[in-house]
Amino acid sequence: MRIADPAVVAALVDLGGRQRLIEWGWFRLTSANAVVLIALCILLGAAAVGRLAPTERDAEEVVGND
C-alpha cells in the first residue's frame, strides 16, 4: 500500500519557503523572504501615514483656536 505519491510529498516539502523567486548576485528572494519584505513595507507605510496624519494641534491651528 502506498502512503503518499512522491510528487505530492515533494510539493509539500517545497511549501517550506525555499523556492527562489529572484536571484540577483548575493541577493536571493525566496517566498518566505518575500512575505517578510511585504510585511516590512506595510509597517513602514503605516508609520509614514501616521507621521503625515494631522494632529490635534494642527487642527487647532487651522480652526484658529488659541
Residue 56: domain span: 6-63
pLDDT tens digit string along 9-61? 565 555 555 556 667 777 777 777 888 889 999 989 888 887 777 777 766 76
Grid coordinates standing for 35?
512575505
Helices (H), 1-66: 6-14, 31-52, 56-63
Q: Are 28 and 22 in contact (CB under 8 A)?
A: yes
Q: Is residue 53 part of a domain?
A: yes
Count of domains in the chain? Answer: 1
**Rounded to whole angstroms, how far apart are CA atoms 21 and 49?**
30
**Rounded to whole angstroms, how far apart are CA atoms 2 and 10?**
15
pLDDT number for residue 1 = 42
* Cross-strand partners of 28: 23
pTM: 0.46
Q: Is residue 19 part of a domain?
A: yes
Q: Are 29 and 22 in contact (CB under 8 A)?
A: yes
Q: Is residue 1 part of a domain?
A: no
pLDDT number for residue 9 = 59
